[in-house]
Amino acid sequence: MRHGFVRDNLPGLASLLAPALMLASQDSWFAARLLFCAVLVIGWQSAFALMRGQGVTAHGLVAAALVAIYVPASAPFWQLAIGISFGFVLGEAVFGGRGRNFVQPVVLTLAFLAFSFADQPWREGASLPIVAVLPALVLLVGAGQARLSVLIAFAIAVAVLASLISPELPAAFFQSGTMLLALLFLTADPVTSGSTTAGRILYGLLAGVLTALFSTGGPAFGALVFATLLASIFAPLLDHMVASVHTRLMRRRARRLRHV
Amino acid sequence: MRFPKWPGGLSLISGPVETASPKGPLSFFGAEIPSFRPVVTVKEGQKVAAGSILFHDRKRPWISAVSPAAGIVSRLDPGPRRSIAALEITPEGENAISFDLSTSDTRDGLIDLMVKAGLWASIKARPFGKVADPADVPEALFVTATEAFDGAPDPGPVIASYEDAFRRGLRALPVLGAGRTCLCHAEGLPAPDVPGITTRAFSGGLPGDHIHTLHPVAHGGMVWQIGWQEVIALGYLLETSRIWGQRIVSVSGPAATRPGLVAATPGARLHHIAADRLADAPLRLLAGSVETGVATPFLTPGIRQITALFHHEKPAHTHGLNRMIKSRRPALIPNFWDETASPSGILPIPLLRALAAGDAETARDLGVLGLVEEDIAALNHRLGGRDRNGVDYTVLLRQTLDELETIA
């Protein structure tokens, strides 16, 4: 499939349709929260589009919907405004927009809110059944955005480590739609999850190990968010290491094939 | 409606070869050769024979162009900075130069013959993908008998119909290199058994992939490559002592109503070659494939396919909201499907990011020296490339290679 709206933005928007409708049916303020988040994200994108020519993409809507889904229903809008502004300006726009950032802005938003305003249950996440999230798995993997290398490495790391320290974690993990959705959109974000296959596997393992470790001291969703933030900071380093090893292997292969 | 194709399947054009009736003059520029400074050796009104040299490069005299047919230089206009704005030959008569073949079995004799017959410019050296310098000795020589892009002529049947010339050309080539001479052909084709030639079947068609598999040059070394039609031309020259004044070109693309093969004279107008094969609609012709094609009006050396595309008026997204919404320099967002189009032996996303950032040293470590434009053309096309307001990575690749060549 060629790049464009149908491949790059539509799968993300379509994947979030079922979770958003489900939450909207439970919480009468969800629609207002979604609209508020969307206006704020698109507003920051437009500001940087005017100042720096970064452009406005439909991915902003996806990110806004993710924030709206994951913040608690009791969160005041002024806190959301501060969190989103921090996350999207300092996490993405100042680096040149989506594709040039190294942390996921939604992850940064949630982590910032969890640090700054301790009165709200930011680390709990919404409760979603896994059925509502399965379309997202198919769509994002099929569109080539969420990589199987990240997902499988993450699952292996969580399963192995959790069997050692907290046997009930994998069950909670793999049955909850909340975690799967966060894994697909936040941990396996194509921009921040590494740029080489080996780098993505290492990143997935790191994120899985950190999630399992962090979840011993708090809710699993908060653990996933902070593990993703930390792992994505290390992703460029992992890629650099992979590229160095690749160069060395290619040099050795060239010497062998050229008989010199 | 065209469905997305499973990667790997390539649709090549085969079938009967029609001869394009020569209409109008043949035109030559030399503009397709990078940093070419021509010295014109003919005058306006002069009669030329098939095989007489028209112009050569000032600093690299081995890059030359010959007239593919006998005729009269009907137009010769100088262009800016000593380039050629127009050089036209009106075909007339059958006069052809008979080349001296007595020394063609030695390296110097063969080089001299190929330079005089205008064939040397078809030998490209890697790294950098420029015309080979005869003073260098390559570690290996690659003959590419495959095609990598949709709509190219299928080399198998064409080579079979010029079997003798192809064999003769292959037999002459090994004296050029110090190492082996590899004939890379498509899978399932009987390879001609010629002494001194290593044959190897490949499923992919890019010479860059073949070179990476057999003799990588991304981290040192140098190889030369030559295309299959030029080997036929060399064999024809060695058999008949006259130049092969035509090339087999495929006409294909969405706007071609009757795709097929045409034997055309180099320098002919693309519209004359593709005449009565095109849809009756506004269209444009590319010399090359959709991914690699350039909009040139004439058949330039090395071109084996003509792609006819429907011409769509581009809406001018230059003001108001559209300008705000479109990113001025779209960032690369990695996608699995795009990366399937990357050439082998490189890490595509780090390499493209290094190219976009102008980081020549990182690009060299990532193997950019093994690549030329056509290797990343498919990837570039998928990423938006030249047509759809994207970043043209082939241009960035050439800038990086030029930078590395100056510091090398």
Q: Which residue has the higher pLDDT, A92 or B83?
A: A92
Asked if pLDDT for residue B5 goes beyond 60, the answer is no
Q: What is the mean pLDDT of residues B187-202?
A: 83
Give the number of other Cβ atoms within 10 Å of residue B213's Cβ: 16
Is beta strand B260-264 parallel, antiparallel or unpaired with respect to B71-78? unpaired
Asked if pLDDT for residue A161 goes beyond 50, the answer is yes
User: What is the domain partition of chain B in residue ranges?
Assistant: 26-91, 107-240, 245-310, 321-406
| Residue B314, pLDDT score | 67
Q: What is the mean pLDDT of residues B26-38?
A: 81
| Residue B1, pLDDT score | 32
Chain B nearest-CA residue for A249? B345
Does the beta carbon of B215 lie under 8 angstroms from any beta carbon of chain A?
Answer: yes
Asked if pLDDT for residue B127 goes beyond 70, the answer is yes
Q: Is B141 helix (H, G, I), strand (E, B) or coil?
A: strand
Average pLDDT, chain A: 91
> Which of A143-152, A202-211, B13-22, B328-337 shows the lowest per-residue confidence on average (mean pLDDT)?
B13-22
- Structural contact between residues B350 and B321, judged by C-beta atoms closer than 8 angstroms: no
Does the beta carbon of B139 lie under 8 angstroms from any beta carbon of chain A?
Answer: yes
CATH architecture of B26-91: Beta Barrel (2.40)
Q: How far apart are CA B162 and CA B160, in angstroms?
A: 5
Asked if pLDDT for residue B144 goes beyond 70, the answer is yes
| Residue B2, pLDDT score | 39
Does the beta carbon of B135 lie under 8 angstroms from any beta carbon of chain A?
Answer: no
Distance of CA B112 to the CA centre of its chain: 22
Q: What is the mean pLDDT of residues B368-380?
A: 92
Q: In A, residues 197-256, which contact B (CB 8 Å cutoff)?
A: 239, 242-244, 246-247, 250-251, 253-254
Closest partner residue to A99 among B331, B347, B384, by Cβ? B331
Closest partner residue to B366 among A97, A191, A243, by Cβ? A243
Contact A195 B327 (CB under 8 A): no
Does the beta carbon of B386 lie under 8 angstroms from any beta carbon of chain A?
Answer: no
pLDDT above 90 covers a percentage of chain A that reads: 63
Q: How far apart are CA B165 and CA B173, in angstroms?
A: 13
Asked if pLDDT for residue B322 goes beyond 80, the answer is no
Contact B221 A258 (CB under 8 A): yes
Q: What is the mean pLDDT of residues A225-230?
A: 96
**ipTM of the complex model:** 0.92
> Measured between beta carbons, which residues in chain B are less than 8 angstroms from residue A260?
220-221
> Which tens digit of pLDDT belongs to each residue from A195-204?
999 999 999 9
| Residue B8, pLDDT score | 52
Q: How far apart are CA A37 and CA A80, in angstroms?
A: 8
Does the beta carbon of B338 lie under 8 angstroms from any beta carbon of chain A?
Answer: yes
| Residue B83, pLDDT score | 84
- Of the candidates B316, B15, B265, B354, which has an alpha carbon nearest to the alpha carbon of residue B151? B15
Burial (CB count <10 Å: 0-12, 13-18, 19+), residue A244: exposed
User: What is the domain partition of chain A in residue ranges?
Assistant: 2-258
Q: How far apart are CA B142 and CA B123, in angstroms?
A: 10
> Which tens digit of pLDDT belongs to each residue from B271-300?
889 888 888 888 989 999 988 888 888 898
Could you tell me the pLDDT band of residue B196, with boundaries at 50, 70 and 90?
Answer: confident
- Of the candidates B11, B28, B12, which has an alpha carbon nearest to the alpha carbon of residue B301? B28
Asked if pLDDT for residue B203 goes beyond 70, the answer is yes
> Which tens digit of pLDDT belongs to each residue from B86-113?
889 998 888 888 998 888 889 999 999 9
> Measured between beta carbons, which residues in chain A are less than 8 angstroms from residue B7?
none
| Residue A215, pLDDT score | 87
Asked if pLDDT for residue B367 goes beyond 80, the answer is yes
CA distance A62 to chain B (A): 15
Asked if pLDDT for residue B211 goes beyond 90, the answer is yes
Contact B347 A99 (CB under 8 A): no
Looking at the domain covering B245-310, what would its CATH class be? Answer: alpha beta
Does the beta carbon of B204 lie under 8 angstroms from any beta carbon of chain A?
Answer: no
Q: What is the mean pLDDT of residues B238-245?
A: 91
> Measured between beta carbons, which residues in chain B are less than 8 angstroms from residue A99?
330-333
Is beta strand B53-57 parallel, antiparallel or unpaired with respect to B38-40? antiparallel
Q: What is the mean pLDDT of residues A215-238?
A: 93
| Residue B389, pLDDT score | 66
| Residue B4, pLDDT score | 45
- Structural contact between residues A120 and A113, judged by C-beta atoms closer than 8 angstroms: yes
